[in-house]
């Protein structure tokens, strides 16, 4: 039981620093979960929604200053600065520990410190990982309880000697005796600090999202990416789906998209082409491991969805809307007069009167959003109507394809297949979205988000690129997932989207599956392999021929300009970018010049 002694000693140590009034261990029971929800309603920290419309559901309103991840205050406190790399905020671990000891001293005074044991992945799964979060936020507790597997079974595993990650969170708002609490306690000073060598996360000052639910981005990506590097697997910001063909064959696809690029819509895709089905396995994080036979297996380590509400509606993602029928915590959405919720995009026509996310009256003439653009829903994945029956299979599923995508108005075709694993890693390393100037038809300024991991990689991204290359070298020939780049957002010269997107993205997925099967041809371009227009299933789709041509057009001059931008991006990492990716860049330039001449 040495593991249990180590755990209790650590809890006592943090309690001595933060000085809570009491300590409560979370056992994962429904009774404890419901009691905490009722208590937060009594304290004015949650609003209970009308059970007729949204049973078992609640609305939280954050402080206006605490509405999103705080990237500028997120740190990687590695022993060496070069291990954090130029895309992370590095902090000296010794100095940061001294700083955090200062802000955490007495930070939980007047509050309860909750001990939350959680598992990423099924508790007894061979690839699951365990963590403990200490927090003074009941909102964080009920959110973690939805997003992970929480309970005494995790403590039993730790007591048996399983390794675990330490996470500590405080809203940074101690209470003096008799002081009245506020509905959303937080602090203007914020820190989200990761110690990769010691597998720790310390978060202070924020009660929102990934700043407070430390099992999510902090553990499952930033710390897990370091674990994956050290142990030979991949921790990725990817959705995971099963695609079932009309012939009944199942294929598993993971996809990495930056925010606002259609990730949740693809995770819950409902194909518009007959005979095809998609089952949801995960919407945000995927852990991928090679097996002894050189094939890759993918696992969603989460138990819930923490999704962005605005833009989620019956016309864009009916499966997500159906998932939110009840037992959901909404944060910073608007409240309807009938006690239900609303946000921009839920319906085409907004209600005549609402209470906005800050608690103020709202009408369509108010001139401001009713819901915050980053408002959220937290709900169990099991409520998704198209969740796969085996979505909690402890070993995961065999992975057939990996997709990378960004929001590109120009240049990037609708779909490109890589010619090799290394070429696919090159595509992933160049993922970007264009800023608003790009709508004018120039390459524009690119916002880089390689692998959709720029905010979430716990170490130097150039080393991360190298890790991807090395993992591929260990895969059996013919068994590695095929890698594709997709772009649903290409625009014409008049600014129109050229592709309808949403459910019609299944037509691209169909071509990808047929490529895996070996039954669909492809055309060679300097960028990689693309479908010929006749190879796409366009039945019932009214897309002009000139739009289809533009969707796959490759302009060598514009791509040579983009290659220069890629080289400049690589140069920010100095000599750390793998030589294999530099070679892929030069090969791209060679092919572009050959076409241009």
Tell me which residue of 547, 557, 553 sits closest to 530, measured CA to CA: 553
DSSP type of residue 180:
P
pLDDT given for residue 13 in this prediction: 98
Question: Would you state the structure tokens that stand for residue 197, as one six-digit string?
Answer: 């060598």
**533 three-class SS:** helix
Query: Taking the CB of residue 181, how many other CB atoms lie within 10 A of it?
Result: 13
- Residue 100 in tokens: 């955090």
Both structure tokens of 436: 């608003």
Cα 63 to the chain's mean position, in Å?
A: 23
Give the residues across from 409 on adjacent strands: none
How many other CB atoms sit within 10 Å of the CB of residue 401?
A: 21
- Say whether 251 sits in a helix, a strand or coil: strand
Count other C-beta atoms under 10 Å from residue 403's C-beta: 26
Q: How far apart are CA 584 and CA 597, in angstroms?
A: 20
Q: Where in the chain is the domain with CATH 2.170.8.10?
A: 304-383
Strand 482-486 vs strand 401-405: parallel, antiparallel, or unpaired? parallel
3-class secondary structure, 73: helix
Name the token pair of 407: 């929001």
DSSP class per residue in 196-240: TTTTEEEEES--SHHHH-TIIIIIIIIIHHHHHHHHT-EEES-EE
Q: How far apart are CA 319 and CA 266, in angstroms?
A: 11
Which residues make up the CATH 3.90.228.20 domain(s) of the chain? Answer: 236-302+393-596
- CB atoms closer than 10 angstroms to residue 591: 18
Fold of the 304-383 domain: Phosphoenolpyruvate Carboxykinase; domain 2 (2.170.8)
463 backbone dihedrals φ, ψ, rounded to 5°: -65, -35
Residue 36 CA to its chain's centroid (Å): 27
Query: Could you tell me whether strands 239-244 and 250-256 are parallel, antiparallel, or unpaired per DSSP bridges?
Result: antiparallel
- pLDDT number for residue 448: 94
What are the pLDDT tens digits along the chain (597 aa)?
A: 678 999 999 999 999 999 999 999 999 999 999 999 999 999 999 999 999 999 999 999 999 999 998 999 999 999 999 999 999 999 999 999 999 999 999 999 999 999 999 999 999 999 999 999 999 999 999 999 999 999 999 999 999 999 999 999 999 999 999 999 999 999 999 999 999 999 999 999 999 999 999 999 999 999 999 999 999 999 999 999 999 999 999 999 999 999 878 899 999 999 999 999 999 999 999 999 999 999 999 999 999 999 999 999 988 899 999 999 999 999 999 999 999 999 999 999 999 999 999 999 999 999 999 999 999 999 999 999 999 999 999 999 999 999 999 999 999 999 999 999 999 999 999 999 875 433 344 445 789 999 999 999 999 999 999 999 999 999 998 899 999 999 999 999 999 999 999 999 999 999 999 999 999 999 999 999 999 999 999 999 999 999 999 999 999 999 999 999 999 999 999 999 999 999 999 999 999 999 988
Calculate the CA 356 to chain-centre distance. 26
Pinpoint the residues of the chain covered by CATH 3.40.449.10: 2-43+70-231
Contact yes or no for 378/304 (Cβ under 8 A): yes
First to last CA, the chain: 71
What count of other Cβ atoms lies within 10 Å of the Cβ of residue 129? 23
Give the chain's radius of gyration (CA, Å): 24
pLDDT at 435: 59
**Catalytic site positions:** 261
Given this structure, which CATH class describes domain 2-43+70-231?
alpha beta
Q: What confidence score (pLDDT) does residue 1 get?
A: 62
Predicted local distance difference test score (pLDDT) of residue 482: 98
DSSP secondary structure string for all residues of 299-319: E---SEEEEE-TT-STTT-HH
H or E, element range at 355? strand 354-355
Is residue 98 within 8 A of residue 160, CB to CB? The reply is: no
CATH topology of domain 236-302+393-596: Phosphoenolpyruvate Carboxykinase; domain 3 (3.90.228)
Comparing CA positions, the residue from 434, 504, 497 lying closest to residue 266 is 504
């Amino acid at each position: 039981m040495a593991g249990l002694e180590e755990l209790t000693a650590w809890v006592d140590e943090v309690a001595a620093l933060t000085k809570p009034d009491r300590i409560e261990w979370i056992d994962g029971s429904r009774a404890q979960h419901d009691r905490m929800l009722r208590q937060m309603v009594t304290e004015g920290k949650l609003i209970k929604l009308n059970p007729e419309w949204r049973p078992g559901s609640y609305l939280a309103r954050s402080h206006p200053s605490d509405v999103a991840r705080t990237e500028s205050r997120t740190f990687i406190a590695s022993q060496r600065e070069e291990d954090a790399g130029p895309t992370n905020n590095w902090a000296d671990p010794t100095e940061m520990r001294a700083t955090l000891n200062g802000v955490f001293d007495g930070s939980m005074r007047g509050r309860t410190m909750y001990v939350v044991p959680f598992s990423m992945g099924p508790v007894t799964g061979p690839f699951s990982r365990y963590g403990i979060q200490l927090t003074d936020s009941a909102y964080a507790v009920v959110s973690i309880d939805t997003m992970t597997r929480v309970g005494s079974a995790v403590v039993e595993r730790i007591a048996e000697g399983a390794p675990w990650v330490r996470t500590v969170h405080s809203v940074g708002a101690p209470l003096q005796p008799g002081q009245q609490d506020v509905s959303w306690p937080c602090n203007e000073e914020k820190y989200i600090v990761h110690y990769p060598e010691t597998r720790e996360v310390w978060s202070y000052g924020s009660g929102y999202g990934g700043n407070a639910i430390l099992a999510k981005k902090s553990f499952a990506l930033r710390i897990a990416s370091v674990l994956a590097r050290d142990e030979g697997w991949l921790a990725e910001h990817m959705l995971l789906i099963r695609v079932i063909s009309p012939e009944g064959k199942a294929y598993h696809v993971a996809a990495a998209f930056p925010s606002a690029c259609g990730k949740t819509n693809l995770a819950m895709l409902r194909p518009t082409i007959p005979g095809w089905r998609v089952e949801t396995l995960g919407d945000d994080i995927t852990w991928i491991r090679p097996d002894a036979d050189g094939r890759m297996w993918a696992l969603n380590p989460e138990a819930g969805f923490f999704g962005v509400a605005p833009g989620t509606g019956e016309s864009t993602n009916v499966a997500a809307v159906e998932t939110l029928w009840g037992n959901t915590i909404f944060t910073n959405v608007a409240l309807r007069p009938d006690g239900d919720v609303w946000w921009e995009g839920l319906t085409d026509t907004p209600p005549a009167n609402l209470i906005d996310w800050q608690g103020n009256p709202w009408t369509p003439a108010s001139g401001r959003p009713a819901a915050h653009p980053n408002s959220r829903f937290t709900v169990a994945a099991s409520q998704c109507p198209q969740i796969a029956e085996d979505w909690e299979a402890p070993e995961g599923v065999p992975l057939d394809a990996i997709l990378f995508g960004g929001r590109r108005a120009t240049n990037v075709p609708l779909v490109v297949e890589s010619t090799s694993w290394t070429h696919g890693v090159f595509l992933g390393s160049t993922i970007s979205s264009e800023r608003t100037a790009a709508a004018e038809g120039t390459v524009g300024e690119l916002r880089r988000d390689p692998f959709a991991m720029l905010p979430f990689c716990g170490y130097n991204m150039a080393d991360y690129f190298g890790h991807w290359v090395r993992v591929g070298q260990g895969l059996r020939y013919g068994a590695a997932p095929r890698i594709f780049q997709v772009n649903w957002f290409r625009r014409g010269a008049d600014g129109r989207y050229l592709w309808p997107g949403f459910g019609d993205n299944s037509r691209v997925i169909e071509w990808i599956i047929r490529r895996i099967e070996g039954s669909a041809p492809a055309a060679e371009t300097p960028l990689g392999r693309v479908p010929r227009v006749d190879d796409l299933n366009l039945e019932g789709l009214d897309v002009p021929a000139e739009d289809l041509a533009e969707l796959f057009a490759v302009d060598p001059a514009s791509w040579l300009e983009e290659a220069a931008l890629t080289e400049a991006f690589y140069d920010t990492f100095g000599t750390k970018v793998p030589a294999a990716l530099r070679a892929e860049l030069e090969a791209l330039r060679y092919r572009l010049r050959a076409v241009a001449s």
